[in-house]
Amino acid sequence: MENASSSSNKLNLFNNSCLDILQRDSQSRIATGHKGLDRHLGGGIALRQITELVGNSGTGKTKMCLQLCLNVQIPKSAGGLEGAALFIDTRRDFHPDRLQELAYDLERQYKHKSPDFQASKMLQNIHYVSCPDAVQLMATVLSSHRHLMAHPNIKVIVIDSLAFSLRMLEDGAQRFELLLELLQSMRRLQREHPVAWVVTNVLTHRCIGRQFHVVPALGDLYSNLINERIWFSRSGHCSLGKLWKTSRLVKD
């Protein structure tokens, strides 16, 4: 009997097809509301991945974060995940009135499909934490596992902004060590919970050769550890790619 059971378990390893994986993957994404982005991303922001939104101030990164906190709650009957969100604010620049406006817009959009999908309920499903420094950010990320155990419906965790608190650390080695520890903790959480991490980053100048180039903050190693990078520009356009010179423009 044990041999038969063991053989059965081994055979089950080969039960998944590429189509199964593709369909499951497309059902585990959070729509951004940007048609072009959603098309290029296969339906939206993927769960169990780290997605970075990078750009100068005023390019729409925070607005996208707020929208994702709402879009993750779209009912399953309307093709959504019907989840909740955790918003980690390091800049202390969170404006609930902006979030409320977006919630009312989404409520109107789905009023006929899901009458119970109301702005007040959406706001209740967004958990908020203020982290004014890097130490508190690390403590919040580490305690997120316990919070998700109590609130398993959370499907997206936003950090706005990851770079802001880390750049306040003057010791470069300490900053790098803390960044790696943060990313390891985020990865560990994703292995245990179906959650998407969405972080914002800023652009900075770096001297390469004899010329200054505009690049994302936090360095090259960090760039290799995130899954997706979305570039935001003041023109309102978005681009996808780890490097600006190899990124592709996304049209709505």
Question: Which CATH number is 117's domain given?
Answer: 3.40.50.300
* Structural domain includes residue 237: yes
- Residue at token pair 């959504």: 80
91 residue type, one letter: R
pLDDT class for 8, splitting at 50, 70, 90? low
Q: How far is CA 240 from CA 28, 128, 160, 220, 231, in A?
A: 20, 28, 19, 16, 6
Note the pLDDT of residue 89.
97
Q: What is the distance between the terminal CA atoms of the chain, rounded to a whole angstrom? A: 58
Name 172's Cβ contacts closer than 8 Å, sequence gap at least 6.
Answer: none
Question: Among residues of the chain, what percentage have pLDDT more than 90?
Answer: 66
Q: Bin 128: left if φ > 0, else alpha if -120 < ψ < 50, else beta.
A: beta
Read off the pLDDT of residues 45-103 as tens digits, 9 standing for 90 and up: 999 999 999 999 999 999 999 999 999 999 999 999 999 999 999 998 899 999 999 99
Note the pLDDT of residue 165.
82
Note the pLDDT of residue 175.
87
* Structural domain includes residue 23: no
Name 173's Cβ contacts closer than 8 Å, sequence gap at least 6.
Answer: none
* Structural domain includes residue 10: no
Alpha carbon 56 to its chain centroid, in Å, reads 18
Of the ranges 10-24, 195-209, 230-244, which one carries the lowest mean pLDDT score? 10-24
pLDDT class for 116, splitting at 50, 70, 90? very high
Number of domains in the chain: 1
pLDDT class for 25, splitting at 50, 70, 90? low
Using CA atoms, how far apart are residues 136 and 123, in angstroms rounded to an integer? Answer: 24
The yes-or-no verdict on residue 130 having pLDDT over 70 is: yes
* Structural domain includes residue 24: no
Using CA atoms, how far apart are residues 168 and 142, in angstroms rounded to an integer? Answer: 20
Using CA atoms, how far apart are residues 181 and 175, in angstroms rounded to an integer? Answer: 10
Using CA atoms, how far apart are residues 208 and 117, in angstroms rounded to an integer? Answer: 51
How many residues belong to the chain?
252
Question: Among residues of the chain, what percentage have pLDDT more than 70?
Answer: 89
The yes-or-no verdict on residue 189 having pLDDT over 70 is: yes
Note the pLDDT of residue 10.
56
- Return the closest-CA partner of residue 51 out of 80, 22, 29, 83: 29
* Structural domain includes residue 153: yes
Give the mean pLDDT of 142-169. Answer: 92
Q: How does the average pLDDT of the chain come out, rounded?
A: 89
**Cβ(83)–Cβ(155) below 8 Å:** yes
Cβ-in-10-Å burial (0-12, 13-18, 19+) of 235 comes to exposed
**Cβ(156)–Cβ(195) below 8 Å:** yes
Of the ranges 132-146, 175-189, 192-206, 210-224, which one carries the lowest mean pLDDT score? 210-224
> What is the residue range of 178's domain?
30-250
* Structural domain includes residue 6: no
* Structural domain includes residue 19: no
pTM: 0.88
* Structural domain includes residue 11: no
